[in-house]
């Protein structure tokens, strides 16, 4: 089976980059398949499963909406997020955890910043006073 | 208090301060690198989207029916992005000064103010211009999720005609490492916004669109707007850390200069004290010798 170059991009990471034999994804009116030699086309992608066949193995990932640009020998998928099934629950849980930690940390960090700032201010005052006293 | 203890004390104070500035320098440089990585990754898909949109816009000869391309009215929203914290040189000052002058060009009844970062909201509150919306916990670690939430809110207000123009005031960090406070229009989108997008390099671009080019454009525009806001957030974040890194770098250098000066002073003072003591001992022993 002849292959084409597949790139899957989200704003946060490059999910897939390499040779693929076929790509199947969801559109508003059903499944859409791409093989090497497909006519040049831009396809709107609906949320759903994205099936990638590369190097003889077939893998499925869960994707958001986006679009696919099909050019001779080159297919680019751009979407908001895409995950392998084994990462989904972990990601979701991790994100929730991170969010909670982040809210805490930023509150903490602002407090530490106020502390550091007053420490610096105190040091500055000491410097100024000792400079003045030495004339 | 003798000059010696005074100088010793002075040295300790400078050393403590230097520890703080040095740590802040290291933290900021790591955070800036991270933000730049986020920015570069986003640019990959963002520039693709821009050239695709440019291609569609150039191939259709009717005005698009996408709502975000349609200008209407004068009600203008400004989204001002500054930091949560100071101690970063002129970063907050520069952006807020620009924001102040830009915002005041719009009469108060037509304008609304959105802020990100405590420094921005505090600044405007002090001046009696209370921000209409303040986004909390965004700028210290901007994520795509924040960008999506902010974009969808702004877009909703735009399509409801509650807002007619949206400007974002933030700091750009160019490749040479200098900061530029800028005010840029997000909405409405104009065709000119894509004039500098890379032309799609493939020679044959007789493309089919599925289901239609208008639907493809709608999807791309949504992704474009999210990418735009995300890019502004990470750039502002990178700029803040860049500014803080520089400020802390020069503060650390100044502390080093001061320390070397103080050490010399301390050496002088110590020598003087020793000489003094010796003189006293010798004088004392000389005086005592008379009695022996």
Nearest CA distance, B155 vs chain A (angstrom): 17
- Indicate the domain borders of chain A: 4-83, 86-135
**A41 and chain B in contact, CB less than 8 A:** yes
The model carries a pTM of 0.85
**B204 and chain A in contact, CB less than 8 A:** yes
pLDDT at residue number B205: 62
Contact B171, B117 (CB under 8 A): no
Report, as ranges of residue numbers, the positions in chain B whose pLDDT lies below 70.
Answer: 1-2, 200-206, 287-292
Mean pLDDT of A11-21: 94
CB contact under 8 A, A71 and B202: yes
pLDDT at residue number B292: 53
Domain A4-83 indexed as CATH 2.30.110.10: no
Residues sharing a CB contact under 8 Å with residue B3, sequence separation 6 or more, in sequence order: B269, B272, B273
Give the helix ranges, DSSP H, for B128-199. Answer: 144-159
Instruction: Tokens for A133, please give them.
Output: 């006293």
* Confidence grade of residue A60 (pLDDT, cut at 50, 70, 90): very high
pLDDT at residue number B1: 46
Whole-number Cα distances in Å, B109 to A27, B105, B270: 44, 12, 69
- Calpha distance B125→B210 (Å, rounded): 49
Nearest CA distance, A79 vs chain B (angstrom): 8
Q: How many CB atoms lie within 10 A of CB B64?
A: 19
Nearest CA distance, A37 vs chain B (angstrom): 14
Return the C-alpha torsion angle B264, B268, B274, B278, nearest 10: 150
Taking every pair of Cα atoms in chain A, the longest distance, rounded to a whole number of angstroms, is 86
pLDDT at residue number B28: 94
- Calpha distance B72→B285 (Å, rounded): 98
Instruction: Choose among A29, A39, A106: nearest Cβ to B211.
Output: A29
- Calpha distance A59→A52 (Å, rounded): 5
CB contact under 8 A, A29 and B209: no
Domain B26-246: assigned CATH number: 3.40.1380.10
**B110 and chain A in contact, CB less than 8 A:** no
- Indicate the domain borders of chain B: 26-246
Name every chain A residue with its beta carbon within 8 A of the beta carbon of B42: 11-12
Nearest to A46 by CA among A32, A34, A60, A58: A32
pLDDT at residue number A123: 76
- Calpha distance B51→B62 (Å, rounded): 19
DSSP element (H, E) containing B291: none
* pLDDT of A24 strictly over 90: yes
pLDDT at residue number B202: 58
pLDDT at residue number B290: 61
CB contact under 8 A, B10 and A106: no
Nearest CA distance, B249 vs chain A (angstrom): 15
pLDDT above 70 covers what percent of chain A?
Answer: 97
């Amino acid at each position: 089976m002849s292959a084409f170059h597949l790139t899957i991009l989200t704003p946060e990471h490059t999910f897939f980059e390499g040779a693929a034999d076929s790509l199947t994804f969801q559109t508003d009116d059903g499944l859409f398949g791409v093989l090497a030699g497909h006519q040049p086309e831009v396809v709107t992608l609906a949320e759903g499963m994205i099936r990638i066949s590369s190097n003889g193995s077939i893998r499925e990932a869960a994707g958001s909406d986006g679009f696919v640009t099909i050019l001779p020998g080159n297919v680019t998928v751009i979407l908001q997020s895409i995950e392998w099934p084994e990462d989904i629950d972990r990601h979701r849980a991790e994100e929730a955890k991170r969010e909670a930690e982040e809210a805490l940390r930023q509150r903490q960090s602002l407090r530490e910043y106020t502390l550091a700032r007053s420490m610096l201010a105190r040091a500055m005052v000491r410097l100024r006073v000792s400079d003045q006293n030495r004339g | 208090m003798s000059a010696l203890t005074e100088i010793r004390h002075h040295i300790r104070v400078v050393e403590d301060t230097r520890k703080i500035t040095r740590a802040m320098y290291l933290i900021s440089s790591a955070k800036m690198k991270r933000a730049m990585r986020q920015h570069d990754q986003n640019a990959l898909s963002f520039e693709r989207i821009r050239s695709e949109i440019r291609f569609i816009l150039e191939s259709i000869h009717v005005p698009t029916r996408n709502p975000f391309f349609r200008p209407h009215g004068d009600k203008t929203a400004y989204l001002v992005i500054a930091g949560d914290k100071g101690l970063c040189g002129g970063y907050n000052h520069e952006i807020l000064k620009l924001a102040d002058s830009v915002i005041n060009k719009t009469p108060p009844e037509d304008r609304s103010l959105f802020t990100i970062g405590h420094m921005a909201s505090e600044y405007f509150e002090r001046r009696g211009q209370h921000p209409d919306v303040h986004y909390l916990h965004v700028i210290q670690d901007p994520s795509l999720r924040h960008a999506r939430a902010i974009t969808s809110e702004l877009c909703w207000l735009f399509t409801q005609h509650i807002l007619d123009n949206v400007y974002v005031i933030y700091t750009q960090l160019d490749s040479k490492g200098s900061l530029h406070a800028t005010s840029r229009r997000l909405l409405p989108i104009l065709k000119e916004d894509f004039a500098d997008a890379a032309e799609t390099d493939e020679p044959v671009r007789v493309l089919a669109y599925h289901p239609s080019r208008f639907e493809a454009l709608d999807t791309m525009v949504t992704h474009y707007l999210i990418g735009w806001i995300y890019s502004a957030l990470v750039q502002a974040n990178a700029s803040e850390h860049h500014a803080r890194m520089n400020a802390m770098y020069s503060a650390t250098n100044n502390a080093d200069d001061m320390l070397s000066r103080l050490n010399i002073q301390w050496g002088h003072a110590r020598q003087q004290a020793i000489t003094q003591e010796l003189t006293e001992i010798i004088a004392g022993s000389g005086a005592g010798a008379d009695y022996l």
